[in-house]
Amino acid sequence: PELWTVGSGSAWPAAPAGRAAADLLKEVRGTPGALGYIDGPVERGGGVAVAGVDSGAGPVAPTASAVRSAAAAADVDGESPDVRVTVDPALDKAEAYPLVLVGYQIPCRAAGEAQARSVEAFLAYATGAEGQAQLERLGYAPLPDRIRGRVRAAVASLSED
């Protein structure tokens, strides 16, 4: 509160959604008192601080490890091949960043056999050891083992009929 110098109210200027992270970061850097949300592992630097989120166990910064920890604690819906993950934003687990965005792929079996094989090969790579290691090198959080196993089983089922 004593650091906040912008005042209060709901008439804050807003940038359009869907802008590139680098553009948004440049705008935040150039606007005194600006707040911004940048998804994923974007190099921030240049005087832009990263905020930790405290949902009960102390502030946690959005590192790949903290995101993976929150995803590991997520609910995974049932045993169906549709792997639906729900991360609780009120998670009070120490070292778990609670504002996690889980990405999904929804392959269509009716796309034709050749396309289905290509999609299956890509998803198998992305969820395999090499694909997960590449994500980690890029600063993203690899899937927790429990979720990764479910996703890999769903991917393998794409070619079953």
Helix (H, G, I), strand (E, B) or coil at 135: helix
What pLDDT is stored for residue 92 in this prediction? 83
Cite the DSSP H helix spans in 52-110.
64-72
Question: For residue 43, which of 20, 66, 22 has the smallest C-alpha distance?
Answer: 22
Mean pLDDT by 10 residues, the chain (161 residues): 65 64 81 78 69 87 90 83 84 87 78 82 94 90 92 84 56
CA distance 60 to 66: 7
What pLDDT is stored for residue 122 in this prediction? 93
What pLDDT is stored for residue 16 in this prediction? 62
What pLDDT is stored for residue 81 in this prediction? 72
Angle, vertex CA 46, rays to CA 42 and CA 48, nearest 5: 70
CA distance 126 to 131: 4
What pLDDT is stored for residue 99 in this prediction? 87
What pLDDT is stored for residue 131 in this prediction? 95
What pLDDT is stored for residue 138 in this prediction? 86
Global pTM? 0.74
